[in-house]
Chain A
Amino acid sequence: MNINITLIGQTIAFAVFVWFCMKYIWPPIMNALEARKKEIADGLAAAEKGRKAEDLGKEKAIGIVKDAKSQAQEILGNAEKRRNEIIEEAKTDAKTEGERLLASAQAEIEQEINRAREELRGQVATLVVSGAARILDREVDDKAHGKLIDDLVAQL
C-alpha cells in the first residue's frame, strides 16, 4: 500500500480517458439521442396534425353526405312530380287521341255509310232500271233516259 509514481500515472490515464470520452464519445451519442427525441416529438406532432385533419375530413364528409341526401331527396321529389306530370300528360294525350280516333272512326263510319248508301243507290237504280226494263219489256236507253234515271237516283 505504497503511494508512488503510480498515483501520477493514474491521474494522467484518468485525464486522457476523460478527454477522449468528452471528445469522441459523449457528443455523437448525445446528438443521436437529441435527434431521436426531436424525431419522436415531430412524429407525435405530425400524428396529432393528421388526427385533426382526419376529424376535419370526417366532418366534411358528413356535410357532403348530408348535402347529397338532401339533393337526392330533392331529385326524388322532382322525379315524383315529373312522373305525375307525365302521367297526367299521357292521360290527356290518350284522351285526345282516343277522342280523335273516335271522331275519325265515326267519320269513317259515316263515310262508309254514305258510300254504301251511294252504292245501294246505284244498285237500286240499276235494279229499278232493269226492273223497269223488264216491266216495259224494252231497253231503257241510258242516253235517252239518263236524266230521268239520275233524277230517280237523286231522289233515293
Chain B
Amino acid sequence: MASESLTTTGYIKHHLTHLTFGPHPDGGWGFAHSADEAREMGFWAIHVDTMLWSIILGVLFLWLFRKAAKRATSGTPGGLLNFIEWTVGFIDDNVRGSFSGENKLIAPLALTLFVWILLLNTMDLVPVDWLPYLTQLFGDYVLGVDPHHVYMKVVPTTDPNATFGMSIGVFLLTLYYSLKIKGPIGFASELTMQPFQANNILLKIFFIPINFFLEFIGLVSKPLSLSLRLFGNIFAGEMIFILIALLYSGGVFWALLGGFLQWGWAVFHILIVLLQAFIFMVLTVVYLDMAHQEH
C-alpha cells in the first residue's frame, strides 16, 4: 500500500492518475498535483509516464530486434536470434495470410504493433504498486516533493492516448492507401455507392447520403473499435489488479486471498495481454488489406 492515510477511493484514484506535465491555470508549466489539476490542464498537457514507458519499451523492442537483425545470417541461429526469427516468421505468415497486396510497409508495421503492444500490455503483470511506489520514494527522497502528488501509471495501453495514437496512425495509413490505390473517385464511390445500389440515376442520388452515412460510420468505427478494444481490455485488467491489491490492507486472511487472486488473475491476464496484441495486429493488417482492394 502506498500510504496508510489513503482511503480506498483515494488509492484507486491515485493509481488511475497519470504523471501529467502541462500548463497550470496561473500560466506556469509544471506537473499536476492531483487528478483535477491534470484535467484542468486541457489538451496541451502530456502524460509523461505513458510517453516514458512506451518509448522505453519501444526502444527496447527496436534494440533487441536490431541486434538480432545485425547478426542474422543464413547459418544456424542460436538463442535470442532464434526467438526473434520465430517472431518475425510468425508475423510474416500472418501478414501473408491476410494481406493480399504488395506493400513493404505492412509486415514491419504488423511486427512493430504486435511486439510493442505486447510489451506495453506486459507492464500490467508487474505488481501494481511496485513502480508507482518506487517513483513516490524517488519523488519523496530525491526530489523532495509530496509523495501524494507523485503519480506513475506504468501501463501505457491503459491510457486511451496511447491506443488512439496507434489507431490514428493506422487510420491515416488506411485513408492514404485507400486514396492511393482506389483513387479519390474510387474511394468516394466506395463511400457513397454501396451498400444500396440502384440503376436509376435519381435513385442513385437519393441513396448517396444514406450510403455515405453508413459507410462513414463503418470507416470511423474501425480505428475507434481498434483502440477502445485494446484500451478496454487492458484497463479492465489493470483495474482488477488494483482492486485485488486493496485486499492486502484487510488482514492476513485477505492478504493471502489477495496474493492467490493476484497470481491467478496474472496467469489469466497473460492470455489477454497476448491476445489483445495479436488482435490489434491482425485487424490492422485486415483494414489495410481492405484499403488495398479495388472494386
Residues of chain B within 8 A (CB-CB) of A155 are: none
Closest to A7 in B: B161
Binds B, one of A27-35, A64-72, A101-109, A111-119: A27-35
Beta-carbon contact of A5 and B58 below 8 Å: no
Report the minimal beta-carbon distance from B154 to chain A, rounded to whole angstroms: 15
Give the distance in Å from the alpha carbon of A24 to the alpha carbon of B169 in the complex. 20
Closest to A10 in B: B165
Report the minimal beta-carbon distance from A14 to chain B, rounded to whole angstroms: 5
Beta-carbon contact of B65 and A21 below 8 Å: yes
The listed residue with most B CB atoms (<10 A of its CB), out of A17, A22, A32, is A17
Give the distance in Å from the alpha carbon of A17 to the alpha carbon of B57 in the complex. 11
Query: A26's contact among B46, B50, B107, B161, by CB below 8 Å, is which?
Result: B107
Closest to A11 in B: B165
Beta-carbon contact of B108 and A25 below 8 Å: yes
Q: Mark A8-22, 1 if CB is under 8 A from B, else 0.
A: 111101110110111
Beta-carbon contact of A6 and B162 below 8 Å: yes
Taking A13-B55, A17-B61 as contacts, is the C-beta distance between A7 and B165 under 8 angstroms? yes
Give the distance in Å from the alpha carbon of A2 to the alpha carbon of B89 in the complex. 38
Beta-carbon contact of A4 and B166 below 8 Å: no
Beta-carbon contact of B69 and A28 below 8 Å: yes
Does any Cβ of B come within 8 Å of A39's Cβ? yes
Give the distance in Å from the alpha carbon of A25 to the alpha carbon of B108 in the complex. 8
Q: Mark B71-96, 1 if CB is under 8 A from A, else 0.
A: 01111000000001100110010000
Taking A13-B51, A36-B74 as contacts, is the C-beta distance between A26 and B108 under 8 angstroms? yes
Beta-carbon contact of B111 and A21 below 8 Å: yes
Taking A20-B62, A22-B108, A29-B84 as contacts, is the C-beta distance between A9 and B45 under 8 angstroms? no
Beta-carbon contact of A17 and B116 below 8 Å: yes
How many residues of chain A get a CB closer than 8 Å to chain B's CBs? Answer: 32
Interface of chain A, helix or strand or loop or mixed? helix
Beta-carbon contact of B168 and A17 below 8 Å: no
Beta-carbon contact of B107 and A13 below 8 Å: no
Beta-carbon contact of B108 and A3 below 8 Å: no
Query: A5's contact among B16, B38, B43, by CB below 8 Å, is which?
Result: B43
Residues of chain B within 8 A (CB-CB) of A14 are: 112, 116, 165-166, 169
Does any Cβ of B come within 8 Å of A1's Cβ? yes
Give the distance in Å from the alpha carbon of A3 to the alpha carbon of B53 in the complex. 18
Residues of chain A within 8 A (CB-CB) of B38 are: 2
Report the minimal beta-carbon distance from A39 to chain B, rounded to whole angstroms: 5
Beta-carbon contact of A26 and B88 below 8 Å: yes
Beta-carbon contact of B161 and A4 below 8 Å: yes
The listed residue with most A CB atoms (<10 A of its CB), out of B16, B41, B108, is B108
Residues of chain A within 8 A (CB-CB) of B109 are: 18, 21-22
- 22 of the cross-chain contacts (CB-CB < 8 Å) are A4-B42, A4-B46, A6-B165, A7-B161, A7-B168, A9-B165, A10-B51, A10-B164, A11-B166, A14-B165, A18-B105, A18-B108, A21-B62, A21-B111, A25-B65, A25-B108, A26-B107, A29-B68, A32-B73, A33-B85, A33-B89, A36-B75
